């Protein structure tokens, strides 16, 4: 490669990077609340990934002299009834809550995509049966359906993920089905059929990539719902069991007995849950506006 070619390649790379950075700055200025949501979600993800490094104490180590210790320089958020450092438990709790939320959203989204594509392409009795089942599932609120499944499966990390992911399936399936019905009659799909491609290959290669934008937006919104449901299940004793430091379990262990005596045991886990759900909702709203063609000008 000559010097001229190298310079041209570097110029193209610089222009590409500048264009991407310029687009990021444009959207950041246009959607400041979305930027705030992205920062909040990113901070919690970093906190979860680096929990073993940044946590000042062992989240499960107990200490009787530190029982219900108030916030101080050594324990910034105080200690719980068993003398465990609350800040360390919240930091490690981010790992549990985000893991459950992300895995539940991905699992529910994957199942919903498969059902929605099959329902939109196969039609007939299969579509009718699937839609009636989805109608029944959507008749129940997300938390109620998750409670029923969690109570049936029992409290464990894996069962909590399953109990949260299944109620997320209907919304994804409905969005994918409606998009599939719109795309399956378009010229590029007809051309693929004329070329001899199978329905499965058409669905995966041509239809699914064209609906990634609404799926990303819906998945971001469902992430906040999944984290909130996990906290609710843990609060009721049906979610992630001890000794895993879950935000909802922290509230359950302290709300009734220590709410007045040590209010920080309720305030800080509640703020963590609220901030994470708030950030994911802000990010989802911004992504919806960015990916909506009607908002572009």
pLDDT along the chain (297 residues), means of 10: 49 51 74 87 91 88 83 85 87 88 91 89 85 87 86 85 91 88 79 77 79 82 86 82 78 72 85 89 82 56
pLDDT of residue 12: 52
Please state, in angstroms and rounded to a whole number, the distance separating the CA atoms of residues 82 and 86: 10
Tokens 């299944």: give the residue.
166
Per domain, the residue ranges of the chain are: 89-295
CATH class of 89-295: mainly alpha
Between vectors from CA 185 to CA 285 and to CA 222, what angle results, nearest 5°?
25
pLDDT of residue 2: 56
pLDDT of residue 240: 77
Coil, helix or strand for 53? helix
pLDDT of residue 292: 62
Q: What are phi and psi of 62, to 5 degrees?
A: -100, 160
pTM: 0.81
Report the chain's terminal Cα–Cα distance, integer Å.
41
229 contacts 142 by C-beta, under 8 angstroms: yes
CB under 8 Å to 237, separation ≥6 — which residues?
155, 252
pLDDT of residue 75: 83
- Token pair recorded at residue 198: 């199978």
Q: What are phi and psi of 79, to 5 degrees?
A: -135, 155
């Amino acid at each position: 490669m000559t010097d001229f070619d190298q310079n041209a390649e570097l110029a193209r790379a610089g222009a590409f990077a500048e264009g991407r950075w310029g687009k990021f700055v444009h959207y950041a200025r246009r959607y400041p609340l979305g930027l705030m949501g992205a920062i909040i979600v990113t901070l919690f993800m970093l906190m979860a990934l680096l929990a073993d490094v940044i946590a000042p104490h062992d989240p499960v180590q107990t200490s009787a002299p530190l029982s219900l210790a108030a916030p101080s320089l050594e324990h910034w958020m105080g200690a719980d009834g068993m003398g465990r450092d609350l800040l360390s438990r919240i930091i490690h709790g981010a790992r549990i809550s985000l893991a459950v939320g992300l895995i539940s959203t991905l699992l529910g989204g994957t199942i919903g995509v498969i059902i929605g594509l099959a329902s939109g392409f196969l039609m007939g009795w299969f579509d009718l049966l699937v839609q009636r089942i989805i109608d029944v599932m959507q008749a129940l609120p997300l938390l109620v359906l998750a409670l029923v499944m969690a109570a049936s499966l029992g409290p464990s990390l894996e069962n909590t993920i399953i109990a949260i992911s299944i109620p997320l399936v209907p919304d994804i399936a409905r969005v994918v089905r409606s998009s599939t019905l719109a795309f399956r009659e378009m010229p590029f799909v007809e051309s693929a059929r004329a070329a001899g491609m199978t329905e499965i290959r058409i669905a995966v290669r041509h239809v699914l990539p064209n609906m990634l934008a609404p799926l990303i937006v819906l998945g971001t919104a469902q992430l906040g719902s999944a984290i909130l449901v996990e906290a609710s299940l843990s609060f009721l004793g049906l979610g992630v069991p001890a000794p895993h430091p879950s935000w909802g379990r922290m509230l359950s262990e302290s709300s009734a007995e220590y709410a007045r005596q040590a209010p920080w045991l309720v305030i800080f886990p509640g703020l963590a849950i609220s901030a994470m759900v708030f950030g994911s909702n802000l990010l989802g709203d911004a992504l919806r506006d960015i990916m909506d063609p009607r908002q572009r000008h």
